[in-house]
Structure 1
């Protein structure tokens, strides 16, 4: 493919940071992981950040932190990567699929409220594709009921909600550092939370439930023996210091990444103007309550577009353009087929008629012109 859908911005600084971690002899979870946690918490403006191996494990721990367990129900959007629903099943709870707002792809009080029951323990609100969810509106509905909102901010590093970084306002939020995200550590994730006791528990759980971390044991003065105990069943959800070293460099790149992607998305909007408007065509945009980082620049095809979405992806591939299908609908996948309790028309329309366009820091205007020309040609 001559025009990739995504290329992470990695350079010599990341390579040197990773090499320094290797040379130090400390490559597992250790001092660089702790430094990355502090830097990420400071960036977000939250009290606690817990680095983990992926956003999926971050969601897993966040749900445990929210007290979700067997017999509980958790409302989730179907319009999300399947990991959102999977994490609910990991804790023995039942994912209950809600529809989304057709403009933002996010949950709203109107889509969530009909699904609330006495068993609803939490709602996982996704910042889909980097578009910040209206967290305050959801919390106004759910806080009085004692229902926790866990923010799945996998795509949202660099997005803004009501003047603050997306994820700051949640009791618990989960972030992804997968290569398709703006800030990447290869794999990796972060749980942020407000409660210090919850954060301490999640730190133990990510490391097999050990009461004393490996880093603390090695740092004990004078080689004193610190003996750990295992008071509950934990997991191996740790981030390595090599990943954290890369993450520290990446965090410094985030403002420039967001600025560049927003500029490119604005240019796409101008180039694709003939496809946008009253016929249903739409390019993802900022919501009224914030700004998106354009982690995914998804295009909803006009209702009368003459080529099906899947055929269009094939045409683009033949032209050397790598695009992707729109965001998936988890309730249409085999593990969750037939479980939706209500119709999900917006979700099904979005997932069947949208595609993700190439957008990354290195995309050139010439490449953008090629993408737009191929889309406009297919519309004729």
Structure 2
């Protein structure tokens, strides 16, 4: 069986984890701090804070920019449900806009239309009433509040879907016009690069370009620590807030307390969470980060081999870099055109019968029970229905790539 994805882990990661375990310090400690420093240096970020997952990172980043109970965050439905859930964790509600059909990312035109046409503007703020776009889901925290206490648009959260960089130049310009902070869901985007100056210069996703960028280190991602995440920011105050939130609001970290020469008793200055990364995870992450450049280069080589093998099929659209981005090729999404010889499910089943695992296009939160309303997002729904994710992973051989190509092309 050719899997759709597979983490690249080996003896180096195992040795690093073993060393951390035998050190006696296995929770958040010196290796977490080392990983944070190395990741910040990789991205060119001023600050990086390790957390237990990208979801917890998004929750804290949204809180740090002021998202509160009753607020609204503009984002996309076309993402893993954790994106929407992070908004709900703040007592807020996601307002979904559609995606661009080529990149599967937030469509800046759809964002602008939403803010212009579906929102009211007064008192220096932006407000949205869900009654005008399908109503509120029954589970929404806003459904329990009086309408006059809800609806303030507090942030914009684009998603670098499948690692493909968003058109951040346009999104940031729109956000600035409305005075809204931007939190980047960069769960899949470690190693991707984007340009905000028309392709003249490129910088890693995570510099960050908005107020914060949040990464995932789940095994499905290129860089993995088993699970875990990272928040990058240029703002020292936000970074300090993340560090309080992630450790129960404790005023003194474990490392400081254990290295103190005088008795040090911590205080708990706010209601926090247990969102910490362990030193065992961080030890793996340090090794993985050292491989990231090579991993991205190899995935882009596999992507090019796929492109050579699958080009020329009029019913299949292949992914490619947008003008503003250099993609890390975390996944390989191909889109079936109208009139394709077989549909998404039939193609996936045929490949599975041949020993090749695939996945459908990215899910849509607005079609799942917790977020379901009458809202229609045509491009998001079409992407889910007509995209197939083909296998791509760092140890994938040329023979395996060619086997996938042959099976996709077979009979067509």
> What's the TM-score once normalised by structure 2's chain length?
0.88
Q: Is the 8 A contact 1:331 1:337 kept in 2?
A: yes
Q: Which residue is 1:267 aligned to?
A: 305
Q: Which residue is 1:62 aligned to?
A: 61
Deviation at 1:274, TM superposition (A): 3.1
Q: Is the 8 A contact 2:336 2:343 kept in 1?
A: no
Q: Which residue is 1:373 aligned to?
A: 406
Q: Which residue is 1:120 aligned to?
A: 153
Q: Which residue is 1:350 aligned to?
A: 383
Q: Distance in 1 between matches of 2:266 and 2:35?
A: 24
| Equivalent residue in structure 1 for 2:247, among 192, 207, 221 | 207
Q: Is the 8 A contact 2:17 2:280 kept in 1?
A: yes
Q: Distance in 1 between matches of 2:344 and 2:264?
A: 59
Q: Is the 8 A contact 1:108 1:137 kept in 2?
A: no
Q: Is the 8 A contact 2:97 2:107 kept in 1?
A: no
Cα shift readout 1:226-285 (whole Å, capped 9, x = no counterpart): 11111211000000000000000000000100110001001111111133x5x5x31221
Deviation at 1:115, TM superposition (A): 2.2
Q: Which residue is 2:216 aligned to?
A: 176
Alignment gaps of 5+ in structure 1: none
Deviation at 1:96, TM superposition (A): 0.5
Deviation at 1:109, TM superposition (A): 2.1
Q: Which residue is 1:197 aligned to?
A: 237
Q: Is the 8 A contact 1:96 1:115 kept in 2?
A: no
Cα shift readout 1:198-250 (whole Å, capped 9, x = no counterpart): 111110100011111122111112xx221111121100000000000000000
Query: 1:167 and 2:200 equivalent?
Result: no
Within-5 A mapping of 1:179-258: 179-221=219-261, 224-258=262-296
Deviation at 1:311, TM superposition (A): 2.4
Deviation at 1:364, TM superposition (A): 1.0
Q: Which residue is 2:364 aligned to?
A: 329
After TM superposition, where is structure 1 displaced by more than 6 Å over at least 4 residues in a row?
none
Q: Distance in 2 between matches of 1:266 and 1:121?
A: 40
Deviation at 1:339, TM superposition (A): 5.6
Cα shift readout 1:283-304 (whole Å, capped 9, x = no counterpart): 2210101210011110101211
* Cα root mean square deviation, aligned: 1.2
Cα shift readout 1:139-184 (whole Å, capped 9, x = no counterpart): 1111132201110111111111121101212211100101111110
> What's the TM-score once normalised by structure 1's chain length?
0.95
Deviation at 1:63, TM superposition (A): 0.5
Q: Which residue is 1:320 aligned to?
A: 355
Instruction: Name whichever of 80-89 and 102-111 sits farther off.
Output: 102-111
Query: 1:286 and 2:285 equivalent?
Result: no
Deviation at 1:328, TM superposition (A): 0.9
Q: Distance in 2 between matches of 1:202 and 1:364?
A: 41
Q: Distance in 2 between matches of 1:24 and 1:238?
A: 18
Instruction: Name whichever of 49-58 and 161-170 sits farther off.
Output: 161-170
Q: Which residue is 1:153 aligned to?
A: 186
Q: Is the 8 A contact 2:32 2:283 kept in 1?
A: yes
Q: Distance in 2 between matches of 1:214 and 1:198?
A: 20
Secondary structure of the 1:274 match is coil
Alignment gaps of 5+ in structure 2: 120-125, 127-151, 196-201
Deviation at 1:375, TM superposition (A): 1.1
Secondary structure of the 1:6 match is coil
Q: Is the 8 A contact 2:53 2:230 kept in 1?
A: yes
Alignment size in residue pairs: 371
